[in-house]
Amino acid sequence: MQVRVRFAPSPTGYLHVGGARTALFNWLYARKTGGKFILRIEDTDLERSTAQAVETILDGLRWLGLDWDEGPFYQTANLELHRQKAEEMVASGHAYRCFCSKELLEERRKAFEARKLPYKYEGTCRGLSSQEVVARLAAGHPYVIRFAVPRDEGAVSWTDLVYGEQSKQHVDIEDFVMVRADSSPLYILSNAVDDALQGVTHVIRGQDGIPNTPKQILIYKALGYKVPEFAHLPLILDPSRAKLSKRLHGDVVMVKFYQERGFLPDALANFLLLLGWSPGDDREFFSREEMIEAFSFEGINRSNSIFNFRKGDERNFTDPKAIWMNAEYISKMPLDRLLPFVIAEFKQKGLWRSEYESERSEWFAKTIDLLRARYRTLSDFTSLGRPYFEDDFDYEPASVSKNLKDTSLVTLLPGLADKLEKLQDFSAEAVEAVLRTYASQCGVKAGLLINAARTALTGQSVGPGMFDVFATIGQRRSVERLRRAVRLVVGQSA
């Protein structure tokens, strides 16, 4: 039997981290078993589904590298078929037409509520004779189609691949509506029929699908379809146990946000993998191949996953673990795999120069390699990294007041610049030798010059080894920046 799994998003919004995790787990299972990963757009909510939402979902999946083998199929294309299946169930006695009016049902529900009892449709129309049904149809009475849940002591049971034995008594299941009075099928029907017709063998979806499962199993059985396996995934909650929502948490729940904030798709996928799944040992980093190899339903946790989003600053905008993971990828992945992402970031920010493609390409790659150890997102390369590539950059006030407060720097910085200007070979070692000699000649600590130079050259207080910074920024620009910084020395007027 070939495994067939599907991701079935409703295109009513954006692709959120929960949906992306569901897609990832489906994809992993398909890839692991040599099966097929199907993409089905559940667009039956016509009022809320938009073409733009579909695009965002496809975009997000592509960006995450979750390639699908079949689809996208659109659920609305099959509505007629779903209706037919309901008719088939009416014909075989597994469903019936219900003529009870909305008003009547509403009245009954209220009466139950008044007595604090849950209302469940009592099956009034279940016993209508075929003559009565024909007469009402002929008179044009509107009707819905309801499933006739067996009236016995039995139960619907399944072994969930994550949550284990599940069961619901028939008496606890209402004769649920499958087709509305306007003849549109309900989601519960469309979803099950599509799964059956698309040959889905494993339904891997969020835990919020559990209440639908017994009804869907009844539908499968009534139509003579093989019941698929079910694997429900734990919820994703914030630290205060609220469900992640755009309304509550903002953009941080959207995949697109990570794309825009400079995440690497592999890092986000790795983070999502660990959101509800664990390998059973302490491994944290998984290449795609390793994920595929390690993934199993047994590793999925039953307890809810906590997503520790943050409403922090530019650099702390989401779960610290996600940021840490991205930083690890940035600093450790093979440079040649990182570069295309960095180049795209430069292009997007308008900082890409044609010279990086030719004579400076090696310099560009080396500079990225030097910077990446400290960076967390791709955006850091164009924000924090800006001084390495552009002459106009900001000096952080804290860096200026810390490193440029000694007034003797007014003469020391140009003095150092003069010495460095004379260097033939502007290597890190040569710069270091010049700086240290100059410091001892002037009777100051080398550290004073090193720190001041860092602020002068980059506007920042932290960064790679300072002599590497000199060599990277280059002789002409380093000399210029040392001279230019004199006006910044604390107390100097510009």
Please identify, using beta-carbon distances, which residue of 13 and 459 lies nearer to ligand GLU: 13
Taking a C-beta distance cutoff of 8 angstroms, is the pair 198, 265 a contact? no
Cβ neighbours of residue 176 closer than 8 Å, sequence gap 6 or more:
146, 147, 149, 188, 215
Phi, psi of 287 (to 5 degrees): -70, 170
Which residue number places its CB atom closest to ligand GLU? 205
Q: Is 243 assigned a catalytic role?
A: no
205 touching ligand GLU, by CB under 6 A: yes
Q: Is residue 167 within a helix (H) or strand (E), and if so which, with residue range?
A: strand 164-169
3-state SS assignment for residue 351: coil
Q: Residue 324, class by beta-carbon neighbours within 10 Å (0-12 exposed, 13-18 middle, 19+ buried)? A: middle
Please identify, using beta-carbon distances, which residue of 191 and 478 lies nearer to ligand GLU: 191
Residue among 3, 4, 5, 9 that touches ligand GLU (CB under 6 A)? 9
Q: Which stretch binds ligand GLU (CB under 6 A): 7-15, 144-152, 389-397, 474-482?
A: 7-15
Q: Which stretch binds ligand GLU (CB under 6 A): 5-13, 118-126, 254-262, 430-438?
A: 5-13
Cβ neighbours of residue 45 closer than 8 Å, sequence gap 6 or more:
10, 12, 187
DSSP classification of residue 413: H
Q: Which stretch binds ligand GLU (CB under 6 A): 4-12, 266-274, 334-342, 388-396?
A: 4-12
Nearest-CA neighbor of 170 among 221, 108, 223? Answer: 221
Catalytic choice (110, 226, 246, 405): 246
Taking a C-beta distance cutoff of 8 angstroms, is the pair 326, 263 a contact? yes
| 164-169/95-98 β-pairing | unpaired
Nearest distance from C-beta of residue 155 to ligand GLU, angstroms: 21
Q: Which amino acid is at 439?
A: A
Please identify, using beta-carbon distances, which residue of 45 and 113 lies nearer to ligand GLU: 45
Contacts to ligand GLU from residues 181-200, by CB under 6 A: 191
| 177-179/144-147 β-pairing | antiparallel
209 touching ligand GLU, by CB under 6 A: yes
Residue among 4, 10, 28, 384 that touches ligand GLU (CB under 6 A)? 10
Nearest distance from C-beta of residue 302 to ligand GLU, angstroms: 18
Please identify, using beta-carbon distances, which residue of 53 and 417 lies nearer to ligand GLU: 53
Rounded to a whole number, what is the distance in angstroms from the first to the last CA of the chain?
77
13 touching ligand GLU, by CB under 6 A: no
249 touching ligand GLU, by CB under 6 A: no
Nearest distance from C-beta of residue 35 to ligand GLU, angstroms: 16
Residue among 8, 144, 322, 417 that touches ligand GLU (CB under 6 A)? 8
Cβ neighbours of residue 463 closer than 8 Å, sequence gap 6 or more:
371, 374, 454, 469
Q: Which residue do the tokens 């070692």 mark?
A: 429
Please identify, using beta-carbon distances, which residue of 191 and 455 lies nearer to ligand GLU: 191
83 touching ligand GLU, by CB under 6 A: no
Count how many residues are written for the chain.
494
| 236-237/305-306 β-pairing | parallel
175 touching ligand GLU, by CB under 6 A: no
Nearest distance from C-beta of residue 101 to ligand GLU, angstroms: 30
Distance of CA 474 to the CA centre of its chain: 40
Distance of CA 492 to the CA centre of its chain: 49
Nearest distance from C-beta of residue 197 to ligand GLU, angstroms: 14
Distance of CA 432 to the CA centre of its chain: 45
Q: Mask of contacts with ligand GLU, 38-57, x by CB under 6 A? A: ----x---------------
Please identify, using beta-carbon distances, which residue of 211 and 465 lies nearer to ligand GLU: 211
Q: Contacts with ligand GLU: how many residues (CB under 6 A)? A: 7
User: Residue 50 half-sphere exposure, CB side, CA atoms within 13 Å?
Assistant: 8
Alpha-carbon gap, residue 275 to 25, rounded angstroms: 11
Please identify, using beta-carbon distances, which residue of 8 and 222 lies nearer to ligand GLU: 8
18 touching ligand GLU, by CB under 6 A: no
Nearest-CA neighbor of 273 among 238, 304, 300? Answer: 300
Q: Which stretch binds ligand GLU (CB under 6 A): 6-14, 176-184, 247-255, 450-458?
A: 6-14
Nearest distance from C-beta of residue 206 to ligand GLU, angstroms: 6
Please identify, using beta-carbon distances, which residue of 12 and 441 lies nearer to ligand GLU: 12
Catalytic machinery residues: 246
Which residues contact ligand GLU by CB under 6 A?
8-10, 42, 191, 205, 209
